[in-house]
Amino acid sequence: MPDPLDLYDNVYANFESRAEAAVRHSAFGEDIGQSSWLTAAEWLRFADWVRVHEHSHVLEVGSGSGGPAVYLAAARGCRVTGIDINEHGVRNAEHLAAGKGVADRVMFQVADASKPLPFSPSTFDAVLSNDNLYDAIVAKQDEALSRLRAKDFDRTLLGFVDQVLKMPRKPVPPVAWDFWDQLKLSEELFELQQYRPAIFQALPPAPGSTAGIVTEKKS
């Protein structure tokens, strides 16, 4: 059986060819290097929705050939990090960023978006993507439903909750029968001490106490 063919290898390898550019220009009106059904105006509108500005650091998931990321950085003055699973796309994207003079603000790396990403959550101000992740998202939803039906919760948050619920319950610590009465009284006393200090200081001693209520005196 022959090895599977990745059509994106061919698309990204010939990204800068005149034929590829002519197809993009004819299809989208403005060629920004997009490889999905996305116009330049739509791309900038998406960025405006998430309030991208010159101080933003944007993560583009599925950056492909790098065209949209480079275009966004030039149009909005922001920083962009693009990730894609295709090595040809990442190499082309790096070459494009260097050619457009934005390599200091735009970087790319090979990464699988379906797996944990090599970034901390606080790295980015916004995350953008195009429609090429739609099928992957639907597939993940189908996988989640299948696991739910099979009650396969291994390495999921639901599995962790399930394990916690199965653990033996700890005994409830004993409390005084008048616990809530005491709590209510302490809250009332605290309010008096904060807002009516004169009345608080004039309170009689508690039953069984040999001294009155003592408050801190300011020097």
From 129, 153, 182, the end of a domain falls on: 129
45 inside domain:
yes
Give Cα 88 distance to the centre of its chain.
Answer: 27
Same domain, 101 and 187: no
Contacts of 77 (CB under 8 A, 6+ apart): 53, 54
Supply the pLDDT for residue 83: 92
Q: Is there a domain that residue 52 lies in?
A: yes
Q: C-alpha distances in angstroms, 74 versus 60, 107, 125, 186, 196?
A: 15, 13, 17, 62, 63
Does one domain contain both 108 and 181? Answer: no
Distance CA 128, CA 49 (A): 10
CA 36, distance to chain mean position in Å, is: 24
Bridge partners for 108 per DSSP: 82
DSSP H or E segment with residue 149: helix 134-149
In terms of domains, do 180 and 105 share one? no
Phi/psi of residue 61, each to 5°?
Answer: -95, 125
Provide the domain limits for residue 19.
7-129
Residues 110 and 177 in one domain: no
pLDDT of residue 54: 93
If one counts the domains in the chain, the total is 2
pLDDT tens string, the chain, 219 residues long: the values are 566 555 566 566 556 666 566 666 665 666 666 666 677 888 888 899 889 999 999 999 888 888 899 999 999 999 999 999 888 889 989 998 999 999 999 999 999 877 778 888 688 988 888 755 656 666 666 777 777 777 776 666 556 566 666 777 667 667 777 877 787 888 888 887 888 888 778 777 766 665 544 444 455
164-173 in b/e burial notation, b at 16+ Cβ within 10 A?
Answer: eeeeeeeeee
Q: Are residues 180 and 124 in the same domain?
A: no
What is the pLDDT, as a whole number, of residue 143? Answer: 76
